[in-house]
Amino acid sequence: MSTASRLPQFVGRLASKLPVTVDSTVRRLAVLSLIGQTVLVVTGGAVRLTASGLGCPTWPRCTNESLVNTPEMGIHGFIEFGNRLLTFALAAVAALMLVYLWNLRKERKDLFLLALGLLASIPAQAIIGGITVLTQLNPWVVGLHFLVSMALVVFATLLVNRAYGRTGRFRTHSLAALPGTLRPVMTAVALFSAVAVMLGVVVTG
Ligand code: HEM
C-alpha cells in the first residue's frame, strides 16, 4: 500500500483517539500554551535586559558559520540561542493543542480558531525576532515584537477562559448577577491598558 493511501487511514485512526468534548487534556494544553507565551515574554525580556540581543549576530543561523551558538560566543550567545530554541517548545504545544481540538473543530470553532491563530503566529514572531537581529535591534522592530507577544498572551488567556467555559457562547458561569455597568467599565480598562502598553513601548523605544 502506498504512503498516500495510508494517510487517510492514519488520520482516521488518530481522530478516533482524540477527544470529542473539551476534556482535561484540552484544558491543560490551553493553560500550558498561556504559560509558554508568558515564559517567552520573560525570557525575551531577559535577552534584552542582559544585552544579549546580538548574542547570535545573525538570523536564521546564529553566525554565518554556525547554526547554533558556540562556547566562544559566551553567555550572550547562550542566552540568545536558548531563547530561539524556546520557540520550538511553544510551537510543539500549539501544534499539539490543534491536533487535540481536531474533532471539536466545528462544535468549538472558537477554540480551534484561537489555537490555529496561536500556532500561525509563532513563525510570524520568529521572523519578526529575526528582523530584530538583522536590523541590529531597531527599536520599532523590537517594539512590534513585544506588542505581538502581548496580543498572543491575550489570545492564550481567551483560549484558557473559553476552554474552562468562563466566557463565550459555551460559558458555564452566569454573568447575570454582575451589575450592568461592569461590562463597559471593564472594556474601558482593557482599552486604556492597551493604549498605556503601546505608549510605553513608544516612549521607552
Ligand atoms: C513565539 C516566539 C517568540 C516570542 C513570543 C518572543 C517574544 C519576545 C519578547 C516579549 C521580547 C522582549 C521584548 C521587549 O522587552 O521589548 C523578546 C526579545 C527578543 N527576541 Fe523574541 N520572541 C519569540 C521568538 C524569537 C525568535 C525566534 C528570535 C530570533 C532571533 C527572537 C529574537 C529576540 C531578540 C533578539 C530579542 C531582544 C531584543 C532586544 O535586545 O532589544 N525572538 N522576544
What are 44-72's pLDDT values in tens digits? 999 999 999 999 999 999 999 999 999 98
Residue whose CA is at the smallest distance from ligand 1 atom 15: 45
Q: Which atom of ligand 1 is nearest to the CA of 122?
A: 1
Residues 79-101: what's their mean pLDDT?
Answer: 95
Of 170-174, 190-194, 196-200, the range with the lowest mean pLDDT is: 170-174
pLDDT at 29 over 70: yes
Residue 62: what are its φ and ψ, rounded to 5°? -70, -45
Confidence of residue 205 (pLDDT cuts 50, 70, 90): confident
Q: Is the per-residue pLDDT at 7 higher than 80? A: yes
114 neighbors 121 (Cβ within 8 angstroms): no
Q: Residues lining ligand 1, CB < 6 A?
A: 40-41, 44-45, 47-48, 53, 59, 83-84, 87, 90, 122, 125-126, 129-130, 132-133, 137, 142, 145-146, 149, 152
| Predicted pLDDT at 176 | 61
Task: Please report which confidence band the pLDDT of residue 1 belongs to, taking 50, 70 and 90 as the band edges.
Answer: low
Question: 204 pLDDT exceeds 90?
Answer: no
Judged by average pLDDT, the poorest of 1-15, 76-90, 171-185, 191-205 is: 171-185
Q: Whose CA is nearest to atom 31 of ligand 1?
A: 129
Work out the burial of residue 188: count CB atoms within 10 Å of its CB; fewer than 13 is exposed, 13-18 middle, 19 or more buried: exposed
The answer to whether the Cα torsion of 59, 61, 63, 65 is positive or negative is negative
Residue 158 C-alpha to ligand 1 middle, in angstroms? 22
Residue 62 CB-density burial (10 A; 0-12 exposed, 13-18 middle, 19+ buried):
buried
Q: What is the mean pLDDT of residues 76-92?
A: 95
Exposure of 7 by Cβ count < 10 A (0-12 exposed, 13-18 middle, 19+ buried)?
Answer: exposed
pLDDT of 177 > 70? The answer is no
Evaluate if residue 3 carries a pLDDT over 80.
Answer: no
Q: Which of 37, 58, 73, 83 to mutate to test the pocket of ligand 1 (most atoms within 8 A of CB)?
A: 83
The values of phi and psi at residue 24, to 5°, are: -65, -30
